[in-house]
Amino acid sequence: MLNTKMQELGENRSVIRDLFEYGKKRKAEIGEDKVFDFSLGNPCVPAPDPVNETIYDLLDSQDDVYLHGYTSAQGDLLTRRTIAADLNRRFGTSFQADNLYMTCGAAASLKLSLTALIVPDAGDEVLAFAPFFPEYRVFAETAGAAFRIVPTDPETFQIRIPELEKAVGRNTKAILINSPNNPSGVVYPEAVIRDLSAFLAEKEKEYGHPIYLIADEPYRELVYHSGTVVPYLPNYYPDTLVCYSYSKSLSLPGERIGYILVPDEAADSKALYAAICGAGRALGYVCAPSLMQHVIAACDGMVSDLEAYRVNRDLLYQSLVSFGYTCVHPDGAFYLFVKAMEPDASAFCERAKKHELLLVPADSFGAPGYVRIAYCVTEEQIRNSLPAFRALAEEYGKG
Amino acid sequence: MLNTKMQELGENRSVIRDLFEYGKKRKAEIGEDKVFDFSLGNPCVPAPDPVNETIYDLLDSQDDVYLHGYTSAQGDLLTRRTIAADLNRRFGTSFQADNLYMTCGAAASLKLSLTALIVPDAGDEVLAFAPFFPEYRVFAETAGAAFRIVPTDPETFQIRIPELEKAVGRNTKAILINSPNNPSGVVYPEAVIRDLSAFLAEKEKEYGHPIYLIADEPYRELVYHSGTVVPYLPNYYPDTLVCYSYSKSLSLPGERIGYILVPDEAADSKALYAAICGAGRALGYVCAPSLMQHVIAACDGMVSDLEAYRVNRDLLYQSLVSFGYTCVHPDGAFYLFVKAMEPDASAFCERAKKHELLLVPADSFGAPGYVRIAYCVTEEQIRNSLPAFRALAEEYGKG
């Protein structure tokens, strides 16, 4: 009688959320510091000081009714102007406020973009490069598309055009791309983006219809080497939507604030923007949280202290490698992507749990045999967890 | 190639949002105080002082990472416990935190409830009593249901069971009910709720399946006479979901904060709650805004200063009646529902626009020939608008 698809999605929580809830319970049982929860991408670094300072300022200086009132469905005009100006300055683009639609974070950005693009029951396909954030599948399938995984290089997790060629077809409506990547930490370099853009432009011609890239960019600012460039996709491929979130860059994951960028250069730009507005309306979004929109107008372009993450990455990466773990060296985001020490990553994670290590098996990320370790935790947690990681490796005869 | 249904929803904005945008432009042209915008239910009364005081306190005393971090998808436990305790105190219920799911406001509450209940392409029907908030239709239809309007008494807008009997059928999955009502301001009294509950219980038996009442309750606290009781529906009819929002009671419409209540007594309660969680996941909601959830934990049960609305209601109602307008006396919410002075309400609203009066034609509310006037504005705006209302009436030979 109910919508069993929704019931199933609710009962089988995402493996990440499941571990997060388990971790909360376990900490209540044996103590906060005894459980090493690496499950959730919940930043440990506080928001930059100007975020809270801006909230104080807004409360002190602005009319309450304005501050907490509805904005336009598209978002506050000043906020969107500020973001457009910042993007133009950084990427040499010429966006305007009307290219932006404010959202309740990246998940909403992705869901609204897919809902706007996908025609249910029309055979539309959405592609994603492995490994990928598992909710991509949920968002695409519940919007009415088939979801297809594009394999990547098994050692480096870089995009390989021949693999994409096998997966792309006439029904390909959109391709999700996420760099720096959750869960691998990999950044797709400019050469790859150029090849990808050229390939897709050719396919668009061949099929006579647009294939949209949906760039999921919550980790754009989280790179740890000044030489690492994350190419800005609209500058390479016109049919790009950018789904952004301030969850990671400003450490505001619970506040649900982000945007969708629809460049004028994208095919059917105006109609697509309207469809995104329609999707927001149909899915009950009304507007993005108003106080946080006003915060973004003042704090857009700022970034939380990345140094803490870099320290964590180096400490954890070097330690794990020294204990005998195999993992890709991550250029960005805040995840280590580690080979499980037995073929079944879930079984490996269950053994890790006995050491109070909460790691996420990556089967649902399209990368069986791997686990994701979110290192957006305190350095202390990492230090305290190292004996457990070592003991786990020793159980498998390593270290 | 795009989802044309979404494009259409985006291009044909709700008539309310359209007027709101027109009003903003018009004010920029001729001055804030020259345009009498009665379009949007954007409260003019500020949030109660403790709301902003709580935000200061939270910023001063709480860890940033906790404050702005993800909560459980269901919502912060303390927040949900606080709400359950408040409901239990007020309505003699025995809810617990797990009966509550925090949402991004009433629109999200409604959309998630409908998505959880409706099986797409199964012929499910959703009913609403006229007049109704027009987005009900959008939420229901895009969730895959047929939407049916149940007429009410043409003079009082009260529910009439014989009209409901004509509309209810085997495919009726849910009935939306909104009291105090947007747009009529009418409260459905206890006798009506008893009759409704008895009728639906009988129909459930006849059809052998539940018919859910979805109580949309953003205006519950906005009643202007101490004798006006708004019956709490779960106490009358077990298969009730309550969709609540703090937009009006705490004057926080832009912040998007509310909840869904699923009583244990509702049919398939556990499965339904799971389906709501699944819908939240599928539609990209992740969690309700975290800072505002923590605010609710401190401010739940408080109400903005209602006296201002009561003053507005009395002033506007008495003035309009003296000018020759016909309208229902509203017991709650902050809308006057007024008969247009010609059969075509849209044409009437266009003439009102020439007097800089922005009124919403109620065709899309299921009540052609009426207009909605949102009096959640300053008393000054009402006083200044009275000559325009009088002049408009005079054009129709009234007053």
How many whole angstroms separate alpha carbon B358 and alpha carbon B374? 10
Please answer yes or no on whether A10 and B59 come within 8 Å at the CB atom. no
CATH number at residue A311: 3.90.1150.10
Nearest by CB to residue B9, choosing from A8, A110, A282, is: A282
Residues B128, B169 within the same domain: yes
Q: Which is more confident, B18 or B104?
A: B104
Distance from CA of B259 to the nearest CA of A (A): 13
Cα(B29)–Cα(A106) distance, integer angstroms? 36
- Pairwise CA distance, residues A149 & B204, whole Å: 45
Please check the confidence at residue B226 and state whether its pLDDT lies above 90.
no
Instruction: Quote the pLDDT of residue B369.
Output: 95
Give the containing element (helix H, strand E) for A207. Answer: helix A190-207
Q: Does A84 share its domain with A229?
A: yes
Q: Select the residue from A5, A6, A287 to test the B interface by mutation, using most B Cβ atoms within 10 A.
A: A6
Contact B282 A73 (CB under 8 A): no
Has residue A12 got a pLDDT over 90? no
* Residue B16: pLDDT band with limits 50, 70, 90: confident
- Mean pLDDT calculated for residue range B40-67: 93
Q: Beta A172-177 vs A212-216: how paired, if at all?
A: parallel
Residues of A in contact with B11 (CB under 8 A): 274, 278
Task: Answer whether residue B178 shows pLDDT above 90.
Answer: yes
Chain B residue with minimal CA distance to A18? B72
The interface pTM score, or ipTM, of the predicted complex is 0.96
Q: What is the DSSP letter of A62?
A: S
Closest CA to B153 of B189, B129, B122: B129
Across A263-272, average pLDDT? 98
Residues 6 or more apart whose Cβ sits within 8 Å of residue B288: A256, B71, B75, B102, B103, B104, B256, B257, B258, B259
Q: Are A41 and B249 in contact (CB under 8 A)?
A: no
Min Cα separation A398/chain B (Å): 36
Model confidence band, residue B13 (pLDDT cutoffs 50, 70, 90): confident
| Dihedral of the alpha carbons of A70, A73, A74, A75, in degrees to the nearest 10 | 10
- For residue B118, the chain A residues in CB contact (below 8 A) are 3
pLDDT at A172 over 90: yes
- The amino acid sitting at A169 is G
CA-only gyration radius of chain B, Å: 21
B106 and B206 belong to one structural domain: yes
CA distances from B119 to B144, B174, B323 (A): 7, 12, 49
Tell me which residue of B226, B231, B185, B192 sits closest to B331, measured CA to CA: B185
Beta-bridge mates of residue A327: A338
Matching residue, tokens 């409908």: B114
Rounded Cα gap, residues A241 and A110, in angstroms:
9
**Count of all residues that appear for chain B in the document:** 399
Instruction: Give the Cα separation of B314 and B317 in Å (integer).
Output: 5
Boundary of a domain, candidates A267, A299, A331 = A299
Residues B342 and B281 in one domain: no
* Average pLDDT of chain B to the nearest whole number: 96
> Which residues in chain A have their CB less than 8 angstroms from residue B376's CB?
none
Partners of B212 in beta bridges? B174
| A14 or A218, which is more confident | A218
Statement to judge: residues A312 and A289 lie in one domain: no
Give the CA dihedral B270, B272, B273, B279, nearest 10 degrees. Answer: 150
Residue of A nearest to B44 (CA): A65
Interchain pair A289, B290: CB under 8 A: no
Nearest to A64 among B5, B46, B283 (CB): B46
Query: Are both A294 and A337 inside the same structural domain?
Result: no
Q: Which domain holds residue B172?
A: 50-299
- DSSP lists the bridge partners of residue B128 as B149, B176
Q: Which two tokens stand for residue B299?
A: 């401010």
Which pLDDT value is given to residue A39?
92
User: What is the pLDDT of chain A when averaged over all its residues?
Assistant: 96
Of the candidates A271, A280, A288, the beta carbon closest to that of B7 is on A271
Decide if A7 and B69 are in contact by the 8 Å CB cutoff: no
Residue whose token pair is 């009436």: B393
Minimal CA–CA distance to B169: which of B186, B150, B151, B195? B150
Contact B282 A138 (CB under 8 A): yes
State pLDDT tens for residues A73-113. Answer: 999 999 999 999 999 999 999 999 999 999 999 999 999 99
Q: Is residue A331 within 8 Å of A228, Cβ to Cβ?
A: yes
What is the predicted pLDDT for the residue at A83? 98
Closest to B275 (Cβ–Cβ): which among A7, A72, A256?
A: A7
Domain boundary residue, one of B264, B299, B334? B299
Give the phi and the psi of residue A127 in degrees, each rounded to 5: -110, 150
User: Cα–Cα distance between B69 and B65 in angstroms, integer?
Assistant: 5
CA A100/CA A89 separation, integer angstroms: 16
In order, the DSSP letters of B90-150 are HH-----GGGEEEESHHHHHHHHHHHHH--TTTT-EEEEESS--THHHHHHHHTT-EEEEE
- What is the pLDDT at residue B17? 81
Measured between alpha carbons, how far is A85 from A94 in angstroms, rounded to an integer?
8
CB pair distance less than 8 Å for B64 and A275: no
DSSP conformation letters of A361-399:
E-GGGT-TTEEEEE--S-HHHHHHHHHHHHHHHHHTT--
Among the candidates B280, B299, B318, a domain finishes at B299
Q: Nearest CA to CA, how far is A56 from chain B (Å)?
A: 7
Nearest to B64 among A52, A142, A279 (CB): A52
Q: Which has the higher per-residue pLDDT, A15 or B112?
A: B112
The candidate with the shortest Cα–Cα distance to B261, out of B221, B212, B298, B188, is: B212
Q: What are residue A172's phi and psi, to 5 degrees?
A: -70, 115
| A261 and A362 part of one domain | no
User: Vertex A268, ends A150 and A159: CA angle to 5°?
Assistant: 20
Overall size of chain A counted in residues: 399
Dihedral of alpha carbons A139, A142, A148, A154, sign: positive
Give the Cα separation of A236 and A247 in Å (integer).
26
Whether pLDDT at A399 is above 80? no
The domain total for chain B is 2
Structure tokens at A228: 């690492």
CA of B277, closest CA in chain A: separation in Å?
5
Residue B220 main-chain phi, psi, to 5 deg: -45, -45
Choose the closest CB to B70 out of A253, A280, A288. A253
Q: pLDDT digit string (tens) for B312-330?
A: 999 999 999 999 999 999 9
- Give the helix/strand (H/E) hosting B374: strand B370-374
In this complex, do B2 and A119 lie within 8 Å of one another by their Cβ atoms? yes
- The answer on A261 and A177 residing in a single domain is yes
CB contact under 8 A, A73 and B13: yes
The verdict on A328 and A181 lying in the same domain is no
Which has the minimum average pLDDT: A39-48, A144-153, A157-166, B255-264?
Answer: A39-48
Instruction: Tell if the CB–CB gap between A252 and B68 is shorter than 8 Å.
Output: yes
pLDDT band at A17 (very low <50, low <70, confident <90, very high): confident
Asked whether the predicted pLDDT for residue B12 surpasses 90, the reply is: no
Q: Which residues of A touch B52 (CB under 8 A)?
A: 59, 64
Q: What is each CA distance from A352 to A235, A366, B200, B225, in whole angstroms?
A: 43, 21, 53, 61
Bond from prior residue into B162 cis (ω within 30 degrees of 0): no
Contact A68 B47 (CB under 8 A): yes
Chain A residues within 8 A of B281 when measuring between CB atoms: 9-10, 13-14, 135, 138
Exposed, middle or buried, A254 (CB in 10 Å: 0-12/13-18/19+)? buried
Residue B174 and residue B232 in one domain = yes
CA distance B26 to B78: 45
Q: State the amino acid at position B305 in one-letter form.
A: D
CA distance B102 to chain A (A): 12
Q: Are residues A31 and A55 in the same domain?
A: no
Q: HSE-up of B82 (CA within 13 Å, CB side)?
A: 17
Q: Nearest-CA residue of chain B relative to A271? A: B7
- A52 contacts on B by Cβ (under 8 Å): 59, 64
Any alpha helices (H) in chain B, and if so which ranges?
Answer: 4-11, 15-30, 49-61, 64-67, 77-91, 105-117, 135-142, 161-167, 190-207, 269-282, 290-299, 307-323, 345-354, 379-395
Distance from CA of A89 to the nearest CA of B (A): 28
Residue A40's closest chain B neighbor by CA? B70
Q: Which of B170, B177, B300 is nearest to B239 (CA)?
A: B177
Whether the pLDDT of residue A263 is over 90: the answer is yes
Residue carrying the six token digits 């799971």: B274
* A227, A287: one domain: yes
| CATH number, residue A101 | 3.40.640.10
Rounded Cα–Cα distance for residues A325 and A330 (Å)? 14
Count CB neighbours of B45 within 10 A.
21
Amino acid at A173: K
Residue A85: both structure tokens together: 């100006």
How many angstroms separate the CA atoms of B10 and A131, rounded?
33
Give the pair of three-digit tokens for residue B159: 């529910």
Cross-chain Cβ contact A254/B281 below 8 Å: no
- Which chain B residues are Cβ-neighbours of A46 within 8 angstroms? 63-65
